[in-house]
Structures are given as C-alpha cells and as structure tokens.
Amino acid sequence: MAVKISPLAVVEKGAEIGENVEVAPFAFVGSKAKIGDGSTIGQAARIEGDTTIGSDCRIFSHAVVGSIPQDLKFHGEDVKLIIGDRNTIREFTLLNPGTEGGGGVTKIGDDNLLMGYVHIAHDCIIGNRCILANAATLAGHVVVGDGVVIGGMTPIHQFVKIGDLAMVAGASALNQDVPPYCLAEGNRARLRGLNLTGLRRALEKDAINSLRMGYKELFERGKPLKETAMHLLETSESEYVKKLCRFVLETKRGIPYERKDKRKEEDR
C-alpha cells in the first residue's frame, strides 16, 4: 500500500514520510518530522518539531506529539523527541521533546501503550513494553524502565526513576524512586510489596522467590537500607536481587517504603 495522505491534512515540505503511512484529515505534520513505515496519524493529530516516529506506530486523533517543552527555561534551542516502533499513542496525549539542560532529548522505546490524556514532559526516558493508563502524567527528567505499568490519574514528580517491571497504582502520587519489580500505591505513594502479577508474566518461579526474600530483607526487617543492599549485592546469587540492590544504592530521591522499628518487630 502506498502512502495515503488526506488532501485535508497538512504535511509541510521537508517532512520525511515512510512507506505505507496514513495521515488522516486535519492532521498536521511539521517540516522536521520523520515518520516510519506503516505508521498512522489520526484525525487532527499534530506532529511538531524535530520528532522521529518509528515504524508501525498508531497516533490517534488530537494527540500532540513534539510541541515545545512546558519549561520556562526553554528558549527555542534545537531539541528532539524520539519514539520507537509499534507504539500506540491514544487521544489527547501530549509528548514534549527535551531541553538543553536535560540533554535535549525525550526518548520513548518500543511497544508502549500511552492511553488517553497521558503527558510525557521534557527529557523523559521511557523503556519498552510500558503501559501508561489514562491521564498518567510524567514531569520532566523522569526515567521509566521496561515493562512498567503506571495507573490512571497518577502524577510522577520530576527526576523520579521507576525500575523495570514495577507498577505504580492508579490515583497515586509518586515523588520518590520505585525500585524494579516493586508495587507502589497511595498519595504519597509507598511500596506495598512486589509487582507479583507483572513478575509472574515475565519471570520464572525461582526468580520470583529470590525477589521475595530480597524484598523482605531490604524493606521489612527494619535493617539499615543501604547496608542491607550492599550485603545482598555481595552475597545473593540472583541477578534480579542484585539489580534491585543496585537501584537502592544508586537512588537520588530515596525509596518510598515504610521504615519499621526493628525492636517492635522483634517483640512480636
């Protein structure tokens, strides 16, 4: 199938359009945009700025992709938005490119689902196979790993990091880092355990059992967090537990877990 651009769409000169691309009526594609093979741009969607969209992406109606950052420090410098392959970007989403102070690039990986009204702000890095439910909003400089789920109506504070296969429940508010494989929920969000539903879909039983023990040692024994993480990093045979520990040791914003009193726990 050849490129199919509606005569009611606006595709500016200079835009690079791949094979088998469809652009619906009233859509706008700017002069610096690059759209990969097999992608579709829905009715009244806007692709602006230096935006690269991979192959087989679906951009639904009224999405705004690549408009300038909502950052008062932005003064028109050259910045980019890079979107991988097979992403689904639903209605009224808003995706911004990077800023000079954050590296100049917002990057979204492959096979992600961004539901309606999702906002991904400047300088965010999103992995692969993530699901952001309706009206999840990411402030600037957020880093999201692979296989992450963020529930609807959940704001994520700037500079927060969320590890692989983690989940943040809907209607939460997250202002600290969520380690890989964990579940966070609440306002403000706190760790509630492992993301067992996601882990059962992705990992073997032995790996999950190792993570259960590692999580308990880190967050439920009342021991000093960083010291425990260092000990597990040196002694555990599980690469998943080691990854969890490295995240804890490298966090800048802290981990949102309930600190237990070790003496009270021992009295039970």
Q: What does the pLDDT look like over 187-246, one tens digit per residue?
A: 999 999 999 999 999 999 999 999 999 999 999 999 999 999 999 999 999 999 999 999
- Inform me whether the pLDDT recorded for 267 exceeds 80: no
pTM of the model: 0.96
Q: What is the C-alpha separation between 161 and 51, in angstroms, rounded?
A: 24
Provide the mean pLDDT of the chain.
96
Lowest-pLDDT choice from 13-22, 70-79, 152-161, 253-262: 253-262
Residue written as token pair 């951009």: 59
> What pLDDT shows up at residue 263?
44
**Is 123 tagged catalytic?**
yes
Q: What is the C-alpha separation between 232 and 146, in angstroms, rounded?
A: 23
Q: Are 128 and 147 in contact, with CB atoms under 8 Å apart?
A: yes
Is 3.40.50.720 the CATH classification of the domain at 200-267? no
**Is 140 tagged catalytic?**
yes
pLDDT-derived band of residue 42, with 50, 70 and 90 as boundaries? Answer: very high
Q: What is the mean pLDDT of residues 22-32?
A: 98
Q: What is the share, in percent, of the chain residues with pLDDT greater than 70?
A: 97
Q: What is the C-alpha separation between 253 and 250, in angstroms, rounded?
A: 9
Where do you find CATH 1.20.1180.10 in the chain? 200-267
Could you report the per-residue pLDDT of 158-195, keeping only the tens digit for each? Answer: 999 999 999 999 999 999 999 999 999 999 999 999 99
Where do you find CATH 2.160.10.10 in the chain? 4-159
Of 50, 56, 110, 123, the active-site residue reads: 123
> What pLDDT shows up at residue 261?
60
Of 62, 119, 122, 141, the active-site residue reads: 122
Q: Are 146 and 167 in contact, with CB atoms under 8 Å apart?
A: no
> What pLDDT shows up at residue 259?
80
pLDDT-derived band of residue 268, with 50, 70 and 90 as boundaries? Answer: very low
Q: What is the mean pLDDT of residues 43-61?
A: 98
Q: Return the CATH number of the domain spanning residue range 4-159.
A: 2.160.10.10
**Exposure pattern of 111-129 as b/e (b: 16+ CB <10 Å)?**
bbbbbbbbbbbbbbbbbbb
Q: What is the share, in percent, of the chain residues with pLDDT greater than 90?
A: 95
> What pLDDT shows up at residue 2?
85
- Inform me whether the pLDDT recorded for 153 exceeds 70: yes
Q: What is the mean pLDDT of residues 50-67?
A: 98
Of 109, 140, 145, 147, the active-site residue reads: 140
- Inform me whether the pLDDT recorded for 262 exceeds 80: no
Q: What is the mean pLDDT of residues 138-165?
A: 98
The total of other beta-carbon atoms located within 10 Å of residue 35's CB is: 27
> What pLDDT shows up at residue 1?
61
